[in-house]
Amino acid sequence: MLLKIREVSSKQLTLEMIERRLPKSHPKSTYYQEMLNRTRAGYAGEQRVDQEWQEIYLEQCHYLLHDVQLKAEGGAIHQMDTLYMSRNFVLIVEIKNIVGRVEYMEDNHQFIRITSDGKVDGFRSPFDQVKRHARFMRQIFQKAGYHIPIVYMIVSANPKMIMSASLSAQPIIHVSGLAEKVEQLFLRHSEICLSEKDLKHIAEHILKKHEPKQWLPDIDWGELRKGALCSQCEFQYALQYSFGKWRCSNCQRTDNESMLVALKDYQLMMGNNISNAQFRTFFDIDSERVAYYLLKKLKFKVSGGKKNRNYVIPAKLID
């Protein structure tokens, strides 16, 4: 049973907002664009592995949770790409989307990637990362009074990742081998450790503990463009509200949906609450009455009194 789907991360959403609003001339523009490209590639790899799970026939009682973020008592964050929970074992999957030949320096706990043009990059060992998650999950089950094998693996989502002999003894596979690996795990862990009721209980407990962390970039929000931006003009020009329509100051195109996109961007920057004054400042609207009309039309929940009224931007503002 799929208990938690994968969603676009707050990091990717924030980077996409920065892509729209940070001037191309800004010294950090290239840096954030490259970060966005890597983040999108990672998400695409995760979706590729998620698709593989959908194609695997899993007759055993199980729960599948994608992108689980849990906080330990000391405050440490454990972000697990996929958690597969069965009555026989719990599997933690770390997904990598790497292109090139990969060497593993076990003594140094480091991955080295060599690209086709000879470029060499170093990465932190994903085995250390997933082992850390396994230790944490073991504590969760033990505190709940359950004893079940906690296993882990790295799954490469990219067929262009070439694994060297240094990885042959490690728990790492290409995504195409996922179904066979799950079958092998059931053969290796044939003992049933949890009842269906207990499995459901702890799976729901973990889901309740899921606490997504908002990613915050090292940037001054004041450096970003404000307002509803024209997508046809590559977000370089703001739209102005006049006579019930939002119109681009450059191409004259009207687009009333742009305000919703802008409000999602505002939410990422400033949080869920927006006042009439903040709305006017962000959208460059002079009239308090016009701002009140637009906010009332959105039918947002309201908090505070008349003088300190705030409108609450919902999480699902845009599908």
Element at 132 (helix H, strand E): helix 126-143
Q: Which of 176, 209, 242 is the last residue of a domain?
A: 209
Helix (H, G, I), strand (E, B) or coil at 110: strand
pLDDT at 83 over 90: yes
> What pLDDT, in 10s, does the model give residues 19-47?
999 999 999 999 999 999 999 999 999 99
- 300 and 190 fall within a common domain: no
Mean local confidence (pLDDT), 193-203? 96
- 52 and 139 fall within a common domain: yes
- 98 and 246 fall within a common domain: no
pLDDT of the residue at 35: 97
Cα angle for residues 241, 242, 244 (degrees, 5° grid): 90
pLDDT at 159 over 70: yes
pLDDT of the residue at 319: 61
* Cα–Cα dist 62/49, whole Å: 17
Question: Is residue 76 included in any domain, yes or no?
Answer: yes
C-alpha distance from residue 160 to each of 105, 118, 169, 179 (Å):
20, 15, 20, 20
- 66 and 203 fall within a common domain: yes
Enclosing domain of residue 140? 2-209
What is the pTM for the complete model shown? 0.89
- 195 and 237 fall within a common domain: no
Mean local confidence (pLDDT), 152-172? 94
Mean pLDDT over all residues of the chain?
93
* pLDDT level of residue 85 (50, 70, 90 thresholds): very high
pLDDT at 174 over 70: yes
Helix (H, G, I), strand (E, B) or coil at 265: helix
Q: What are phi and psi of 177, to 5 degrees?
A: -95, 10
C-alpha distance from residue 240 to each of 244, 261, 279 (Å):
10, 15, 13
Mean local confidence (pLDDT), 280-302? 94
> What pLDDT, in 10s, does the model give residues 240-289?
999 899 999 899 999 988 999 999 999 999 999 999 999 999 999 999 99
Question: Is residue 219 included in any domain, yes or no?
Answer: no
Question: Is residue 218 included in any domain, yes or no?
Answer: no
- 277 and 168 fall within a common domain: no
- From start to end of 2-46, where are the E strands? 2-4
Q: Which residues contact 97 (CB under 8 A, 6 or more apart)?
A: 41, 42, 44, 45, 46, 48, 156, 157, 158
Q: Which of 164, 185, 209 is the last residue of a domain?
A: 209
Mean local confidence (pLDDT), 204-215? 92
Closest CA to 58 of 182, 185, 207: 182
pLDDT of the residue at 306: 74
- 73 and 10 fall within a common domain: yes
* Cα–Cα dist 9/167, whole Å: 29
Question: Is residue 318 included in any domain, yes or no?
Answer: no
Domain count, the chain: 2
- 101 and 242 fall within a common domain: no
pLDDT of the residue at 304: 84
- 161 and 241 fall within a common domain: no
Question: Is residue 214 included in any domain, yes or no?
Answer: no
Question: Is residue 319 included in any domain, yes or no?
Answer: no
Q: At what angle do helices 276-283 and 288-298 cross, to 10 degrees?
A: 100
- 170 and 91 fall within a common domain: yes
* pLDDT level of residue 4 (50, 70, 90 thresholds): very high
Give percent of the chain with pLDDT exceeding 90. 86
- CB neighbourhood size of 146 (10 A): 15
Q: Which of 165, 182, 209 is the last residue of a domain?
A: 209
- 197 and 279 fall within a common domain: no
Mean local confidence (pLDDT), 142-156? 95
Question: Is residue 317 included in any domain, yes or no?
Answer: no
pLDDT at 318 over 80: no
> What pLDDT, in 10s, does the model give residues 54-79?
999 888 899 999 999 999 988 899 99
Question: Is residue 20 included in any domain, yes or no?
Answer: yes
Give the position of tokens 């961007």.
265
- CB neighbourhood size of 89 (10 A): 20
- 193 and 297 fall within a common domain: no
